[in-house]
Structure 1
Amino acid sequence: MDATTQPGLRPLTMTRSILRHWLVIFLVVYGMFNALPFVAPMFMKLGWAEAGNAIYTVYSFFCHQMAQRSFFLFGKHVMYRPDQLPITLTGSTGTDTLLLRDFRGSDLLGWKVAWSDRMISLYGGVWLAALVYWGVARLRTIKPLSIWVFGLMLLPIVLDGSTHMISDTTVGLLTGFRYDNAWLAALTGHVLPKSFYGGDALGSFNSSMRLITGLLAAVGTVWFTFPLIDQLARGTVHDIDVKLARIADKQRRRSGQLEDAHEHFHTSHPTRPN
């Protein structure tokens, strides 16, 4: 019996197989994780509310899901301003966040994707960057980013996310300095359309920054971590191969010893003719 097929060694050989194909496994599993938020509005459109709401609930642990910062499918617009939604906001950040989070859509407006534009950029960006990494890594070895460059690629999303949080929690979702971005309008001399400076709609400064910083962080995360994971996986596969080779060698020696002993026995005890 081959050493790699012995029942006792199956966990070892299975681990080896997983490590050899870890990136393909990641792309498939993580790809499904990225697809489900888009499946939720499809389920709602089809009238499968129970299945759709289950996805929204699960993904609510990964995202605030506020409607004004989410993409909508099957409606008149891809994104909506708060005043375009059938929601009466109170001015309280906590209450308004819950109201915008709980609104998942309607037949008229469409149904929102189960996470916000930033999460689509960040999580989806990791999957896209991983796909590119997989293609390039098959042709050449990719060195990881330095920790400093990785930190610089994360800095924009930290600044953008933290200023949004400060603005939302201290002033309000619709009145904070990150909602009207008057500071940016003054800095640029109001040369751009008003719709660019204010709000969260697609094409606005806020939405653009969420998409850009999310994608930048995703690329940095993949470029920094995946080469390290790849090195660790290759090293572990090598160690497993060495161990399996030793086991196979011991089996060959043992088999040879048994054959020698069997031959010596028959030589020492020849079969007598009848």
Structure 2
Amino acid sequence: MDHPNAIPRRHRNDSAILLNRAVFRLSRNWFPWFLVISGIYVGLPWLAPVAMRMGWEGIGRAIYFMYSFLCHQLPQRSFFLFGPSPSYPLATIQQVWGKTVDPVVLRQFIGASELGYKVAWSDRMVSLYTSIPIAAAAWWPFRRRLRSLPLWAFAFLALPIAVDGTSHVISDLAGIGQGFRDTNQWLAALTGYRFPPTYYAGDALGSFNSWMRLITGALFGMGVVWLAFPAILDFFQDAAEVIEAKFKRAGVPL
């Protein structure tokens, strides 16, 4: 006998049916939902400078605040919209924001009318997170042919971002703009100074540091998709098949 306060069996069954139907539909349509949600996630940082440009400062600052928990937001390592350049060296930022190398102060600079407004996360984050839905969309047509990436291969794709990111952290310990990754004299010596000074020094778009952040972020994002998405696909397919068989045995329409 059921407890007096228990949910009636019919209601429990109805709830279970509704829940199973919801899981079944999600299992069949998870990929479009992923593209929509990830598209919003990677698109919102670009809307922050748009909002600032349009005068919607409340919306723009809210987006900057939300993404401040996900990224250092250093302006010299970020893209800018609505200005004369898509990125700026530290010296240019300091001319507008003050002669500071404190990362806590620097990250608060969101832009100015003469420079435009920064995207709400750094160029590495743009590359990494944007590459995931793009790689997923490229993977989807071949999903039945491509097996999950072996762990050793994923580690190979993840190694560049680990090395690049760690070297930046170590370099920044000497102070923003003062470390070995800011001058890259080691690289200039290795390459015989064949490239212009702007390639070696700083973080602006087109510099060695910028290229490394973009390339390593994209490699890691592609590795994540190739490693995880075949397993995610199998999981949802298995879930859909189990629910479909359960409903068929019970004679209940999905």
* Length-normalised TM-score, structure 1: 0.84
Following the alignment from structure 1 to structure 2, what is the Cα–Cα distance between the partners of residues 135 and 111?
37
2:171 to 167, 172, 188: 167
Q: What residue in structure 2 maps to residue 203 of structure 1?
A: 206
Partner of 1:122: 128
Deviations, residues 5-49 of structure 1 (Å, cap 9, x unaligned): x66411101101101111111000110111100001000000000
Match of 2:61 among 53, 56, 78: 53
Question: For the Cα contact (< 8 Å) 1:65–1:101, is it kept in 2?
Answer: yes
Conserved 8 A contact 2:80-2:119 = yes
Say whether residues 1:106 and 2:109 are aligned partners: no
Cα distance per residue 1:151-171 (max 9 Å; x no partner): 1100000000000001002x1
Please tell me whether the aligned partners of residues 100 and 106 of structure 2 are also in contact (alpha carbons under 8 angstroms).
no
CA–CA distance in structure 1, aligned partners of residues 187 and 15 of structure 2: 66
Determine if the alignment matches structure 1 residue 65 to structure 2 residue 65: no
> How far off is 1:106 after superposition?
1.2
Q: Is the 8 A contact 2:90 2:202 kept in 1?
A: no
Give CA-to-partner distance per residue, 1:179-230, whole Å, 9 cap, x none. 1001111111111111111100101000000000000000000000000111
Aligned positions, number:
239
Q: Is the 8 A contact 1:168 1:176 kept in 2?
A: yes
* Structure 2 spans left out of the alignment, 5+ residues: 1-13
Unaligned runs of 5+ in 1: 1-5, 252-274
For the Cα contact (< 8 Å) 1:89–1:99, is it kept in 2? Answer: no
User: Aligned partners of 2:195, 2:145: CA distance in 1, in Å?
Assistant: 44
Contact 1:144 1:224 in 2 (8 A): yes
Give me the TM-score of the superposition, normalised by structure 2: 0.91
Residues in 2 aligned to 1:98 and 1:238: alpha-carbon distance in whole angstroms: 51
1:66·1:97 contact (CA, 8 Å) conserved in 2? yes
More displaced stretch, 208-217 vs 76-85: 76-85
**2:3 — aligned with what?**
none
Find the residue that maps to 1:141 and give its secondary structure. coil
Considering only aligned residues, what root-mean-square deviation do their CA atoms show, in Å?
1.6
Residues in 2 aligned to 1:240 and 1:89: alpha-carbon distance in whole angstroms: 62
Aligned partner of residue 117 in structure 2, secondary structure: strand
Name the counterpart of 1:76: 84
What pairs with 1:1-274 in structure 2 (closer than 5 Å)?
Answer: 8-85=16-93, 86-91=96-101, 96-137=102-143, 140-169=144-173, 171-248=174-251
Over alpha carbons, which structure has the higher Rg?
1
